């Protein structure tokens, strides 16, 4: 026993020393990994190497339904070094930063309609445009009638926050004149209308059918012979098809009715009649994947990409079921949109270069 006690003490010291060494070593590894991540990611511009032309980034491809891999809807279109945002769903402002997109390049944002899931990330977008982007003028916020109410509401909601940031950081770094958003309203009930035209970029809007939600519009961006069309929320719509004629990329919302119907029925069986009714109601004002493929075919689009995906698709194993029948409706390439997916459309070319921003 006298011999055993010292041995136990020595073993305890060795074990504690090993644990201490592991702790120190783990700390050093963590610090090194953190420094490397900061060096790689802080201040980077994911668009810096893009060719002149259009670059399309799916920042958020989700919907109001929870999806672990997708934030709310946002599509970014860059024309040269000018960056434009279409819609701002929940979490999309943070995802914009995670993808290394440049707040300092943001020139304007466009809203397709005012459903909560398309605007509930707008406060973060306004804030980052101002604080991270160093803006000295408010965010130009384009939309159909009603956008002025949306802008005014977010401006008021963030008014106190703005005073805190100015007081904390000072007016040499946070310019008071750049706070908030300034609404730019356009008519949306008379067919196609050019809502933006500057330095070779044209943005055209058309009314789409998301009834009873009115107004609702789709947008097309044209720059140096390249184009992208973004549907917003709608049923299959002839005005959208006409807008998308020969577009390089058609970013189209999609709802799979069989999958939503399964969710609806399960909710009803479990006694959740109210939510089951809501799931049933959403079936009548969205486009099915097959209908979106038909629209792409009729428009002569070169690439169809699904976004605003309903219901959630947490695994790629679900994609074939979601897109069932689409290949029979459109013989061009079809992609299931994912956050961080990007497409470069170089000027003077018909190439569509697929990338991922991570």
- Please list the active-site residues: 117
CA distances 17 to 7, 9, 26, 27, 33, Å, are: 15, 12, 14, 15, 24
Q: 346 φ, ψ to 5°?
A: -65, 140
Name the 3-class secondary structure at 344: strand
Long-range contacts of 39-44 (CB under 8 A, 24+ apart): 41/100, 44/100
DSSP string, 297-333: HHHT-S-EEEEEEES---SGGGHHHHTTTHHHH--S-
| Cα separation, 124 vs 121, whole angstroms | 6
Q: 286 Cβ partners below 8 Å, 6+ apart?
A: 233, 234, 235, 253, 254, 255, 310
**46-56 burial code (b ≥16 CB/10 A, e <16):** bbeebeebbbb
Q: Indicate the DSSP class of residue 101.
A: -
Cis peptide before 311 (omega within 30 of 0): yes
Q: How many CA atoms lie within 13 A of 5 on its CB side?
A: 2
Asked if residues 119 and 111 have their Cβ atoms less than 8 Å apart, the reply is: yes
| Cα separation, 52 vs 24, whole angstroms | 49
Q: 160 Cβ partners below 8 Å, 6+ apart?
A: none
Q: Indicate the DSSP class of residue 339.
A: T
Q: How long, in residues, is the chain?
A: 358
């Amino acid at each position: 026993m006298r011999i055993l006690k010292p041995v136990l003490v020595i073993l305890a010291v060795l074990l504690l020393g090993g644990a201490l060494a592991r702790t120190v070593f783990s700390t050093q590894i963590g610090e090194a990994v953190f420094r490397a991540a900061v060096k790689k990611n802080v201040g980077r511009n994911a668009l810096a190497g893009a060719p002149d032309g259009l670059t399309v980034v799916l920042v958020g491809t989700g919907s109001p339904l929870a999806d672990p891999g997708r934030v709310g809807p946002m599509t970014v279109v860059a024309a040269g070094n000018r960056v434009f945002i279409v819609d701002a769903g929940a979490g999309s402002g943070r995802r914009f930063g995670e993808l290394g997109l440049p707040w300092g390049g943001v020139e304007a944002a466009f809203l397709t309609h005012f459903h909560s899931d398309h605007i509930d990330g707008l406060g973060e977008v306004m804030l980052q445009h101002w604080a991270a982007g160093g803006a000295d003028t408010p965010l130009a916020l384009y939309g159909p009638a009603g956008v002025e109410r949306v802008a005014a509401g977010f401006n008021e909601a963030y008014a106190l926050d703005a005073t805190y940031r100015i007081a904390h950081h000072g007016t040499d770094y946070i310019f008071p004149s750049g706070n908030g958003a300034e609404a730019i309203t356009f008519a949306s009930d008379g067919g196609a209308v050019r809502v933006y035209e500057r330095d070779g970029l044209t943005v055209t809007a058309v009314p789409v059918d998301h009834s009873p939600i009115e107004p609702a519009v789709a947008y097309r961006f044209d720059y140096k012979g390249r184009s992208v069309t973004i549907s917003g929320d709608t049923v299959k719509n002839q005005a959208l098809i006409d807008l998308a004629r020969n577009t390089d990329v058609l970013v189209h919302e999609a709802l799979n009715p069989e999958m939503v119907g399964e969710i609806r029925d399960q909710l009803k069986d479990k006694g959740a009649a109210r939510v089951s009714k809501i799931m049933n109601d959403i079936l009548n004002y969205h486009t099915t994947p097959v209908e979106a493929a038909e629209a792409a075919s009729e428009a002569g689009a070169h690439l169809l990409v699904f976004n605003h995906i309903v219901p959630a698709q947490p695994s790629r194993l679900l994609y074939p079921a979601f897109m069932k029948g689409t290949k029979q409706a459109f013989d061009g390439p079809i992609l299931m949109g994912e956050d961080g997916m990007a497409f470069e459309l170089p000027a003077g070319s018909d190439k569509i270069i697929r990338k991922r921003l991570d």
